Amino acid sequence: MAIIEAIATTYLEADAASVTFSSIPTTYEHLQVRGSHRTSAGTSGQPFYIELNATAGTGYSSHGMIGTDTTVSGQPQTGTAAIAIWDGTHGTLVNAADYATIIMDVMDYRNANKNTTVQLFMADAMTLSGASRVTFASGLWDDTAAITQIKFTPSSGNMVRGSEFTLYGLNSS
Amino acid sequence: MADPAYIVDGVLTDGEAWVALGSTTLGGSAAVVTFTSADDGSSLDWSQFMDLVVVWYARSDRASTNNDFIVQFNNDTSSNYPIQLLSGSGAAANAYAATNTFAYMGDLPAASSPANHMSAGVATFFDVNSGKYKSVLAQSAKDDDGSGYVSLFAATWKSQAPITEIDLIASGNNLVAGTHIDLFGVLPRMVA
């Protein structure tokens, strides 16, 4: 059996409001999402939302450590309707060939007795002087449900053609 | 070279998403470690992969306690690499942005660092066969007994060409014997 399997890739051939992985198999120990994306909004950096199990409400938090140009900062969010990553993607003020990136780890995702904390590495707006950003972040969903769905949505605009996300499953043996 | 067991007549028969593409352990100093796509339709042809990942453990011979570990793609040495750094060193945090002739992989111990110390890192190169600029996300950890760096690097190579060659370099110096670098290809899974 493979240790790391690609479960599904979504590669947008047309703009879309969001990308969702649903009916995630329960046959793995951990999940990882890898992707590159940008939006149609007239923005540089803009927030990026990650919703779990099609559940909104106020049960999400996040905490980011961020480097942008020569500034180091922290970015906490709590009581949000999704994991909200400040400037986690970018829009049309950034060169059209430049896509933001994400690596997200979801550990022990099928356990129904633990809240879900994810680990994120992200970067955006690398070609826009003064706006480039690299982020190491956590995301929390205050719910013990097993993860069956992951949805990615920009704060405004659509994710554009060429945006891509792949969901991987990690086995323990 | 024979196909690995998970490929029969050029078809993947196993769902393993990470494919080992190359591994180098230096027996002596080297100015550069290069990986090149087989470009022949075999299992080592990078054109089939979504991402490439480099896993490394390395040290430089620079006469100092630190050296930049850098990467260049497809022999492009021009100023085509905007970068963004976030790092911690001692009690300080630091951020830095520039446009370079290379992207960063991480920080290397060097000749004045404690003996046998190496640094560790992982780097992803995203969507390497697309018409996008190519994005890099790299983490590295270097510890010199009381000093060091933990770093997160992002970069974009401003080229829409597929990545077919990776040159890994201790900036201006050599990687030393014992440096170990592995390259993996990460497959997508296109489903209807």
Q: Please write the tens of the pLDDT for every residue from A81-113.
A: 999 999 999 999 999 999 999 999 999 999 999
Nearest CA-CA distance, residue B102 and chain A, Å: 14
Nearest CA-CA distance, residue B64 and chain A, Å: 25
DSSP single-letter state for residue B8: E
Chain A partners of B154 at a C-beta cutoff of 8 Å?
101, 123, 126, 132-134
Other CB atoms within a 10 A radius of the CB of residue A44 amount to 18
CA gap B190, A60 in Å, rounded:
30
Nearest residue, CB atoms, B17 vs list A5, A35, A100: A5
Contact: B124, A34; criterion CB under 8 Å: yes
Per-domain residue ranges of chain B: 17-186
Q: Is A20 on the interface with B (CB under 8 A)?
A: no
Lateral strand order in the sheet of A83-90? A19-21, A150-154, A45-52, A83-90
Contact: A69, B83; criterion CB under 8 Å: no
Chain A partners of B14 at a C-beta cutoff of 8 Å?
2
Nearest residue, CB atoms, B187 vs list A6, A123, A133: A6
Q: Is the ipTM of this structure higher than 0.95? A: yes
Domains of chain A in start order, with CATH, are 4-170 (2.60.120)
| Interface with chain A: mutation pick from B86, B128, B186, highest number of A CBs within 10 Å | B86
Nearest residue, CB atoms, B50 vs list A68, A69, A166: A166
Residues 110-139 of A with CB under 8 A from B: 121-123, 126-127, 129-130, 132-134, 136
Contact: B84, A123; criterion CB under 8 Å: yes
Class of domain B17-186: mainly beta
Closest CA to A133 of A37, A36, A45: A45
Residue numbers in chain B where pLDDT is lower than 50:
none
Other CB atoms within a 10 A radius of the CB of residue A173 amount to 5
pLDDT at A173: 77
Q: Which residues contact B135 (CB under 8 A, 6 or more apart)?
A: A36, A98, A99, A100, A101, A123, A126, B125, B126, B127, B154, B155, B156
Residue numbers in chain A where pLDDT is lower than 50:
none
The pTM assigned to this predicted structure is 0.96
